[in-house]
Amino acid sequence: MSLFGDGLGARSGAPERGEVVLDRASRSFTLSTDRPLTLKEAVVRRRRHERKEVHALREVDLRIAPGEAVGLIGRNGAGKTSTLRCLAGIVPLDSGRAECGGRIATLIELGSGFGGDFSGRENVYLNGALHGFSRAEIEERLDSIREFSELGEFFDLPVRAYSAGMYLRLGFAIIAHLDADVLLIDEILAVGDESFQRKCLKRISERMAAGATLVLVSHDPAAVERVCERVIVLDGGRIAHDGDVAGGLLHYHRMLGADSGGSQSMRPEDAIRPLQIAQLELRDSEGRRRHMYRTGEPLTVELEVVTESQLERRALLALEVRDQRGELCFRTDHSLGIPERSTRVSFEVPGLTLLGGDYDLAVGAYEHEAPGVRLLDRVARFAVAETSGAQGVADLRGKWQVEGQAAAEAVETPSSPLGAEAAAQP
């Protein structure tokens, strides 16, 4: 951006209520031995050379509009939590700008700053105060926080006596009632029982309906998929992907190193789902497992759906193909009826119409009209060989006709059997 660049003036203004802005934000951390510097070392500067710089954010530009729900995902150390801390103002940037418009509520790790000897009630006061609330403002909310947290008589006991779930419920109950314009939440929805999770999600959507913005950091794709409509994948301090949820999750899984072997689970290890995809394989016309195809070649997707409980609703199967940028190329849903304990399903593609590139084929099974979960479960990567003569995603199989010349194939690939095969088909 030049010094007199357009939009600089507009960008440097204060963000509006609920807006989140990162403007060329950079932050690096020095990883030294975990022992803090002593005075002598600071004076002598002996340990300088022992330090290692880690870039948590490198010139990141990001704008989140008021009311958006954004999931921030990435591998460990990708800068997710750092980004959240910078947005919250807990950690200053080295350069650039990080701002949130309006009141911010942060829930970073479980139960921010609960002193063990303090009761749940006292912690409500302390946390409210930390977020800049007055006594009266907190007292106004005390009853609903108490009710939301489901702590009952534990509310007035020291938090030392709490279970992890109680800690979580109290922590979430507090920040959910702070009427924040921006909610910054780190890795919390993965904990807690299902009914409380649902309650949290409901509360979050209520807050968002009231115009609040959510930034959720998570390792758990299920949590992101349930809450967010936009996903940002961070990698090495940069934004590797920014877009819709399915595309973002695919990008994330690809980044995690989808090898060219079989398929890979997209499911977090601890997630319990009524329907699971146990197996997913791509086979060629001769039934061999393969991951490299040519345009026009037949391909069969074979998978196995397993369920541990007897389902009451019919099951649906979703199959998606996305390109490397996470763009949806194809999606289809299919009813399985009431599935058995194990059901083998195949999906036959007579001739692949995709053009050259890497693709992810993801499948997931879900119960009809089940709330929430529509997560794709397993992903397999395959590649389509580059062909000359055509560009884009799909081969439309059109035929050129020039007056006075013989008809030609849409895709001129002399080396591929496509022409012959296509012509052979009725």
Report the residue from 115, 152, 211, 261 that binds other proteins according to the rule CB under 8 A: 115
Q: Shortest gap between Cβ of 90 and other proteins (angstroms)?
A: 5
Residue among 10 and 39 whose Cβ is closer to other proteins:
39
Report the residue from 5, 7, 13, 92 that binds other proteins according to the rule CB under 8 A: 92
- Residues 367-401 as b or e (16 or more Cβ within 10 Å = b): beeeeebebbbbbbbbebeebeebeebebeeeeee
**Rule CB under 8 A: is residue 164 a binding residue for other proteins?**
no
Q: Which of residues 126-145 bind other proteins (CB under 8 A)?
A: 126-135, 138
**Rule CB under 8 A: is residue 37 a binding residue for other proteins?**
yes
Q: Shortest gap between Cβ of 345 and other proteins (angstroms)?
A: 46
Residue among 89 and 211 whose Cβ is closer to other proteins:
89
Q: Shortest gap between Cβ of 132 and other proteins (angstroms)?
A: 5
Report the residue from 62, 64, 72, 91 that binds other proteins according to the rule CB under 8 A: 91
Whole-number Cα distances in Å, 241 to 235, 269, 301: 9, 23, 27
**Rule CB under 8 A: is residue 216 a binding residue for other proteins?**
no
Q: Shortest gap between Cβ of 106 and other proteins (angstroms)?
A: 6
Residue among 97 and 290 whose Cβ is closer to other proteins:
97
**Rule CB under 8 A: is residue 51 a binding residue for other proteins?**
no
| CA dihedral sign of residues 57, 61, 62, 63 | positive
**Rule CB under 8 A: is residue 112 a binding residue for other proteins?**
yes
Whole-number Cα distances in Å, 137 to 80, 130, 142, 169, 198: 31, 13, 9, 20, 27
Q: Shortest gap between Cβ of 294 and other proteins (angstroms)?
A: 52
| DSSP-H helix ranges across 210-242 | 221-227
Q: Shortest gap between Cβ of 114 and other proteins (angstroms)?
A: 8
Give CA–CA dist 165/188, Å, rounded.
10
Q: How many residues of this chain interact with other proteins, rule: CB under 8 A?
A: 34
Report the residue from 88, 168, 321, 365 that binds other proteins according to the rule CB under 8 A: 88
Report the residue from 108, 278, 306, 370 that binds other proteins according to the rule CB under 8 A: 108
Dihedral Cα 281, 190, 275, 349, nearest 10 deg? -30
Report the residue from 1, 65, 90, 328 that binds other proteins according to the rule CB under 8 A: 90
Q: Which of residues 16-35 bind other proteins (CB under 8 A)?
A: 29
Strand partners for 381: 360
Residue with tokens 């890497």: 358
Q: Which of 346, 392, 358, 370 is nearest to 250 (CA)?
A: 358
Plot region of 192 (φ>0 → left; ψ -120 to 50 → alpha; else → beta):
left
Q: Shortest gap between Cβ of 23 and other proteins (angstroms)?
A: 18
Q: Shortest gap between Cβ of 36 and other proteins (angstroms)?
A: 6
Give CA–CA dist 242/252, Å, rounded.
11
Q: Backbone phi, then psi, for 207, in 5-degree steps? A: -60, -40
Amino acid letter, 265: S
Which residues sit at the interface with other proteins, rule CB under 8 A? 29, 36-40, 42, 85, 88-92, 104, 106, 108-109, 112-113, 115, 117-118, 125-135, 138
